A and B are shown apart, each in its own frame.
Chain A
């Protein structure tokens, strides 16, 4: 039988049962408007559905009944028992036909004319009801009426049975009942596990066999209850066709939405949680993924774009694919954006596979859409989608081919309540790691000691990494990460759980690995929710409580907690906020001395060039670089031997300069806390980086060895107390992070504050600054109001005031000038900002000098 028909039967049977009760109630209280409306609505629905499914007999009966009810509802008729009986007779007929339907899949033959005539008479009989009861007489006595009407039905089918079949197929149960059941089953699973654990310790226990049975039954029960919570994923999709249709109109695109596997079932809790991410991704595909008709035709594709949703089960998980046949992700754009956002350097990007680059779209604040349309790019980015999916223990990946489309693949567990988990031990405590994120377990040895086929732990500047087959994996030691103290003695072998975090892998070093166990995930107490390392806790078979590790949390924590002990408490004043921002520092080595460091953001490229490419031009080492001659400056003490030369390339956009060093060591994220006061030329001072004292080089000094006017304004090579003091007003932490190191590296002292109000407090406190850089769009007081406040009066009235804004349309620039800004620069133009600062802070009378480098560069 047609699914639609089954649904209809189920639903209608429910309605009919409700109708019976309601009609009886109506008979008792004829003026009960709510009941009347309810009855009318139910019958109306039945009629409507019949018409839709082309069930003419049902439709006619329901229609006639509806007429009567309509008049009752409007107050044209009074609900006498005669009329109620007529309606009840109609309902009985409907049930009969339905029984036939349920059995044969089609309406049974039969005539309903007498019934309909009676109903019509009742509907029309407003005047007659009061005076002549004759018309209604046959109706007044239900039994005699029912007989002949029933006789009309040609196939008076086995009613009871058929009713039972249809009505018995489903019952409605409140979700809370199911939730309670689930909780109980969870407890049962735990108790079962405990019993099994006890039984394991006893040989030949008489309980073994019944326990086994209990165990099986529990498993079956668990599956059964789980099934009751299952819903087809189609429930999360049913809004999408409409959404896509509307989007198509809005965007002027032709879009086909194809859905496969809508019947694939998953836990309703999971379903609820993926609804929004799914919607967002489909929206994204329609908006960014698919091209307009014109573009598609030009690309030789069918005009109508296609978004395909596909869901299927795969080993305890559900896989959902969202595919479009659009333009695919632009690797170039992502690469540029990733670099602009400082997520990776050009060198790092060059080494990345396309897949790795594409995954940048899951980073916060990443949107390659050139313009924010009404549809997407509204702040809910792919990073939010990813976070939401990871929160329920899922993973998301993508595959994109430029010009051919993009496929997102989401893998999520079927249920969240009971999961398989690997039990591990670290620092004497046991932890559970959800099996879904465990890729494999390895036993690794130390470099040089391991067996030939064994994975090896190696160190890059104190940071352990795991060489597993052909990959290098980051390693975290769970014991250290959780602050459980260092291991006693030096281990020769390590148990490493390789966990999947998003699309990357991370190795977690643990002390011991136990079994996998089915665990019931329970949320942690509210006072512990801030510890992101744990996704919940659970009770093990032996009755002990253990914490469930969240691999995502572990990865996040390890990413920033690498050098925990060298981090100092953050200073409280706005003045010193610069010191609290982390900067990616490139470490390199020259000679035997202290390692040297330079902010990575200043470096354009890292090159390893064959020695023979280094030439000499008028006493200066140079090399051909991108069609021009690039001066090469040896860092003081550099060996300048060997077959190739490591070179840090600096660029101001047009010119390049290479700094020759002995070896490039590492890149580290570090709080840049430079202790000034070195006397050595070319060094800014020293800082603790990666736990070691490191010399931070004075980039400016080296650049000016190559081009005297690299920084046209030219400032003191030892920016100490005399360095210009900049005030940065910027509400976005991200931009503060991005900008402060750049400014510091350019030789300025920087105070960063997050609001105009804070800045004005600094002014009130008498802080002296040399220039102010301010964002425009900020909460409370925006940049322009701030500028007006500065220009009005106070010590800062005459300072250069630079607007640094996300928008730089001519109108914006004009508005900023109007408000008193000296200059308005787009946030993407960092170089222009530096140039403007140089101009603005140039000592009076020193105009930008002649290009002294013209003699070097041809």
Chain B
């Protein structure tokens, strides 16, 4: 479920083609994940730390009997850790039959966005962001970064 692969198709389909995103906040930056890639949204609680795991891996949690590996998106994107007390949310996504939970600060509304508002990554985007972003949407008053779930997970797997 790579958003990068799907994106040019959306462009070709016309400026009015709409895509639906689950939006979320990461250190004050609005991000979006294609709604079809999202299996679940839950409060990030009871995460078991996994010793010796890569830093990006926050741990694992139990989602109705299945074990889900939690990935700290802030760390993945080189952002500072969240304030101590902040409660976090998790967006669950699936890859290769395995479930992964992406830890984010806040999950907000689901947005339907038109392809005409889509932009490719500006070349000046920091490396970590550029490699995990499939593009940018211009929203009234702010920008939304489309997270490339495939690449976020693939990069982790490569380590």
Q: How far is the CA of A135 from the CA of B32 in the complex (A)?
A: 83
- Given A527-B159, A545-B67: A429 and B51 interface contact (C-beta under 8 Å): yes
Chain B CB within 8 A of A482 CB = yes
Per-residue CB contact flags for chain A residues 541-562 toward chain B (1 = under 8 Å, else 0) read: 0011111000000000000000
Please tell me if the beta carbons of A527 and B48 are within 8 angstroms of each other in the complex. Answer: no
Please tell me if the beta carbons of B156 and A546 are within 8 angstroms of each other in the complex. Answer: no
Chain A CB within 8 A of B100 CB = yes
Chain A CB within 8 A of B60 CB = yes
Q: How far is the CA of A528 from the CA of B69 in the complex (A)?
A: 9
Q: How far is the CA of A537 from the CA of B59 in the complex (A)?
A: 11
Partner of A537, one of B49, B51, B57, B67: B67
Please tell me if the beta carbons of B52 and A525 are within 8 angstroms of each other in the complex. Answer: no
Q: Which residue of A lies closest to B156 (CB)?
A: A527
Interface residues of A in 172-209 (CB under 8 A from B): 187, 190-191
Q: How far is the CA of A257 from the CA of B67 in the complex (A)?
A: 46
Chain B CB within 8 A of A416 CB = no
Please tell me if the beta carbons of A483 and B52 are within 8 angstroms of each other in the complex. Answer: yes
Q: How far is the CA of A522 from the CA of B67 in the complex (A)?
A: 8
Residues of B within 8 A of A484 (CB): 51
Chain B CB within 8 A of A210 CB = no
Closest Cβ of chain A: how far from B51's Cβ, in Å? 4
Residues of A within 8 A of B69 (CB): 525, 527-528
Partner of A526, one of B46, B48, B62, B157: B157
Q: How far is the CA of A385 from the CA of B51 in the complex (A)?
A: 29
Residues of B within 8 A of A533 (CB): 51-52
Partner of B52, one of A482, A538, A539: A482
Q: How far is the CA of A430 from the CA of B59 in the complex (A)?
A: 13
Please tell me if the beta carbons of B49 and A545 are within 8 angstroms of each other in the complex. Answer: no
Please tell me if the beta carbons of A539 and B53 are within 8 angstroms of each other in the complex. Answer: no
Residues of B within 8 A of A765 (CB): none
Closest Cβ of chain B: how far from A626's Cβ, in Å? 50
Closest Cβ of chain B: how far from A539's Cβ, in Å? 5
In which size bucket is the chain A interface? 20 to 34
Chain B CB within 8 A of A531 CB = yes
Closest Cβ of chain A: how far from B118's Cβ, in Å? 30
Interface residues of B in 144-159 (CB under 8 A from A): 153, 156-157, 159
Chain A CB within 8 A of B81 CB = no
Closest Cβ of chain A: how far from B100's Cβ, in Å? 7
Majority secondary structure of chain A interface residues (helix, strand, loop or mixed): mixed
Please tell me if the beta carbons of B62 and A525 are within 8 angstroms of each other in the complex. Answer: no
Residues of B within 8 A of A482 (CB): 51-52
Chain A CB within 8 A of B109 CB = no
Partner of B48, one of A190, A429, A522, A531: A429
Q: How far is the CA of A427 from the CA of B52 in the complex (A)?
A: 13
Partner of B65, one of A430, A534, A537, A539: A539
Please tell me if the beta carbons of A539 and B46 are within 8 angstroms of each other in the complex. Answer: no
Please tell me if the beta carbons of A547 and B48 are within 8 angstroms of each other in the complex. Answer: yes
Residues of A within 8 A of B62 (CB): 539, 543-545
Chain A CB within 8 A of B61 CB = yes
Chain A CB within 8 A of B50 CB = yes
Please tell me if the beta carbons of A527 and B60 are within 8 angstroms of each other in the complex. Answer: no
Interface residues of A in 720-741 (CB under 8 A from B): none
Residues of A within 8 A of B54 (CB): 527
Please tell me if the beta carbons of B65 and A187 are within 8 angstroms of each other in the complex. Answer: yes
Q: Which residue of B lies closest to A537 (CB)?
A: B67
Closest Cβ of chain B: how far from A27's Cβ, in Å? 46
Q: Which residue of A lies closest to B54 (CB)?
A: A527
Interface residues of A in 422-450 (CB under 8 A from B): 427, 429-430
Partner of A545, one of B48, B52, B53, B159: B48
Closest Cβ of chain A: how far from B157's Cβ, in Å? 5
Residues of A within 8 A of B157 (CB): 526-527
Closest Cβ of chain B: how far from A513's Cβ, in Å? 18
| Most chain A beta carbons < 10 A, residue from B51, B54, B96, B157 | B51
Residues of A within 8 A of B46 (CB): 543-545
Chain A CB within 8 A of B98 CB = yes
Please tell me if the beta carbons of B100 and A525 are within 8 angstroms of each other in the complex. Answer: yes
Q: Which residue of B lies closest to A529 (CB)?
A: B157
Q: How far is the CA of A525 from the CA of B153 in the complex (A)?
A: 11
Closest Cβ of chain B: how far from A193's Cβ, in Å? 11
Closest Cβ of chain B: how far from A536's Cβ, in Å? 9
Q: How far is the CA of A525 from the CA of B157 in the complex (A)?
A: 9
Closest Cβ of chain B: how far from A660's Cβ, in Å? 45
Please tell me if the beta carbons of B65 and A531 are within 8 angstroms of each other in the complex. Answer: no
- Given A484-B51, A531-B53: A526 and B98 interface contact (C-beta under 8 Å): yes
Closest Cβ of chain A: how far from B80's Cβ, in Å? 22
Interface residues of B in 43-75 (CB under 8 A from A): 46, 48-54, 57, 59-62, 65, 67, 69
Please tell me if the beta carbons of A545 and B60 are within 8 angstroms of each other in the complex. Answer: yes
Residues of B within 8 A of A539 (CB): 62, 65, 67
Please tell me if the beta carbons of A546 and B48 are within 8 angstroms of each other in the complex. Answer: yes
Closest Cβ of chain B: how far from A521's Cβ, in Å? 11
Q: Which residue of B lies closest to A484 (CB)?
A: B51
Please tell me if the beta carbons of B48 and A544 are within 8 angstroms of each other in the complex. Answer: yes
Residues of B within 8 A of A545 (CB): 46, 48, 59-62, 67
Residues of B within 8 A of A546 (CB): 48
Residues of A within 8 A of B60 (CB): 525, 537, 545, 547
Q: Which residue of A lies closest to B99 (CB)?
A: A525
Please tell me if the beta carbons of B50 and A528 are within 8 angstroms of each other in the complex. Answer: yes
Closest Cβ of chain A: how far from B152's Cβ, in Å? 11
Partner of A483, one of B51, B59, B100, B153: B51
- Given A482-B51, A543-B46, A544-B62: A526 and B57 interface contact (C-beta under 8 Å): no
Q: How far is the CA of A543 from the CA of B54 in the complex (A)?
A: 24
Interface residues of B in 94-118 (CB under 8 A from A): 96, 98, 100
Q: Which residue of A lies closest to B47 (CB)?
A: A545
Residues of B within 8 A of A543 (CB): 46, 62
Q: Which residue of A lies closest to B52 (CB)?
A: A531
Q: Which residue of A lies closest to B65 (CB)?
A: A187
Residues of A within 8 A of B65 (CB): 187, 190-191, 539
Closest Cβ of chain A: how far from B59's Cβ, in Å? 8
Closest Cβ of chain B: how far from A218's Cβ, in Å? 15
Q: Which residue of B lies closest to A532 (CB)?
A: B52
Per-residue CB contact flags for chain A residues 496-527 toward chain B (1 = under 8 Å, else 0) read: 00000000000000000000000000100111
Interface residues of B in 21-58 (CB under 8 A from A): 46, 48-54, 57
- Known: A522-B67, A525-B100, A533-B52; 11 extra A-B contacts, CB below 8 A, are A190-B65, A429-B49, A430-B48, A525-B98, A527-B157, A527-B159, A543-B62, A544-B48, A544-B62, A545-B60, A547-B48
Please name 13 pairs of A and B residues whose Cβ atoms are closer than 8 Å in the assembled complex, sorted by A: A187-B65, A429-B49, A525-B98, A528-B69, A531-B52, A533-B52, A534-B50, A537-B67, A538-B67, A543-B46, A543-B62, A544-B62, A545-B60
7 shortest interchain CB distances as A-B pairs: A482-B51, A525-B69, A545-B60, A545-B48, A527-B156, A527-B157, A531-B52
